[in-house]
Protein backbone atom coordinates (compact mmCIF):
# COMPACT_ATOMS: atom_id res chain seq x y z
CA UNK A 1 0.00 0.00 0.00
CA UNK A 2 1.25 3.47 -0.86
CA UNK A 3 1.12 6.17 1.83
CA UNK A 4 0.65 9.82 1.08
CA UNK A 5 3.61 12.07 1.73
CA UNK A 6 1.76 13.85 4.53
CA UNK A 7 0.90 10.54 6.23
CA UNK A 8 4.51 9.38 5.95
CA UNK A 9 5.69 12.68 7.44
CA UNK A 10 3.16 12.30 10.27
CA UNK A 11 4.28 8.72 11.00
CA UNK A 12 8.01 9.20 10.42
CA UNK A 13 8.97 8.80 14.08
CA UNK A 14 6.97 5.59 14.38
CA UNK A 15 8.42 4.25 11.11
CA UNK A 16 11.96 4.89 12.40
CA UNK A 17 11.11 3.22 15.72
CA UNK A 18 9.81 0.18 13.80
CA UNK A 19 13.02 0.08 11.73
CA UNK A 20 15.09 0.20 14.92
CA UNK A 21 13.11 -2.63 16.44
CA UNK A 22 12.76 -4.94 13.43
CA UNK A 23 15.87 -4.02 11.42
CA UNK A 24 16.00 -5.73 8.03
CA UNK A 25 12.72 -7.51 8.81
CA UNK A 26 10.79 -4.23 8.89
CA UNK A 27 8.56 -3.69 5.88
CA UNK A 28 9.51 -0.65 3.79
CA UNK A 29 7.22 2.35 3.47
CA UNK A 30 6.26 3.29 -0.08
CA UNK A 31 4.91 6.81 -0.44
CA UNK A 32 4.11 9.55 -2.92
CA UNK A 33 1.63 12.23 -3.96
CA UNK A 34 -1.89 10.95 -4.56
CA UNK A 35 -0.72 7.48 -3.42
CA UNK A 36 1.38 7.15 -6.57
CA UNK A 37 4.61 5.30 -5.61
CA UNK A 38 7.49 7.79 -5.80
CA UNK A 39 9.88 6.90 -2.97
CA UNK A 40 10.67 4.19 -0.44
CA UNK A 41 11.65 4.51 3.19
CA UNK A 42 13.49 1.46 4.49
CA UNK A 43 15.72 0.40 7.33
CA UNK A 44 19.43 1.05 7.00
CA UNK A 45 20.04 -2.69 7.46
CA UNK A 46 17.86 -3.41 4.43
CA UNK A 47 19.67 -0.72 2.45
CA UNK A 48 23.05 -2.32 3.27
CA UNK A 49 21.79 -5.75 2.21
CA UNK A 50 20.55 -4.29 -1.07
CA UNK A 51 23.93 -2.65 -1.69
CA UNK A 52 25.64 -6.00 -1.13
CA UNK A 53 23.28 -7.68 -3.60
CA UNK A 54 23.93 -4.97 -6.20
CA UNK A 55 27.70 -5.41 -5.75
CA UNK A 56 27.33 -9.16 -6.25
CA UNK A 57 25.26 -8.63 -9.39
CA UNK A 58 27.80 -6.21 -10.81
CA UNK A 59 30.60 -8.68 -10.17
CA UNK A 60 28.57 -11.46 -11.76
CA UNK A 61 28.04 -9.33 -14.86
CA UNK A 62 31.77 -8.67 -15.17
CA UNK A 63 32.51 -12.38 -14.83
CA UNK A 64 29.89 -13.25 -17.46
CA UNK A 65 31.33 -10.63 -19.84
CA UNK A 66 34.84 -11.99 -19.45
CA UNK A 67 33.58 -15.52 -19.92
CA UNK A 68 31.71 -14.52 -23.11
CA UNK A 69 34.92 -13.03 -24.50
CA UNK A 70 36.76 -16.26 -23.75
CA UNK A 71 38.89 -14.58 -21.12
CA UNK A 72 40.43 -16.19 -18.10
CA UNK A 73 38.02 -17.60 -15.52
CA UNK A 74 38.20 -16.35 -11.95
CA UNK A 75 36.25 -17.27 -8.86
CA UNK A 76 34.07 -14.66 -7.19
CA UNK A 77 36.55 -14.61 -4.31
CA UNK A 78 39.43 -13.87 -6.73
CA UNK A 79 37.53 -11.03 -8.38
CA UNK A 80 36.45 -9.60 -5.03
CA UNK A 81 40.04 -9.73 -3.77
CA UNK A 82 41.27 -8.04 -6.98
CA UNK A 83 38.69 -5.27 -6.50
CA UNK A 84 39.33 -5.08 -2.75
CA UNK A 85 35.72 -5.99 -1.94
CA UNK A 86 34.84 -7.96 1.17
CA UNK A 87 32.48 -10.90 0.68
CA UNK A 88 31.71 -11.14 4.40
CA UNK A 89 27.97 -10.87 5.03
CA UNK A 90 27.83 -8.92 8.26
Query: What's the pTM?
Result: 0.63
Dihedral angle computed from the Cα positions of residues 90, 23, 5 and 40, in that order, rounded to the nearest 10 degrees: 30
User: Which residue intervals of 1-90 are DSSP H helices?
Assistant: 5-22, 44-68, 76-82
Could you report the per-residue pLDDT of 5-32, keeping only the tens digit for each? Answer: 999 999 999 999 999 999 999 999 999 9
Q: With contact defined as beta carbons under 8 Å apart, do 3 and 29 qualify?
A: yes
Could you report the per-residue pLDDT of 25-83, keeping only the tens digit for each? Answer: 999 999 999 989 999 999 999 999 999 999 999 999 988 888 888 767 778 899 999 89
pLDDT attached to residue 66: 81
Amino acid sequence: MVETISKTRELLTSHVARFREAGADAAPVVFGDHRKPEAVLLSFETFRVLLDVVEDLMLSERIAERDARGGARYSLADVAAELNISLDTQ
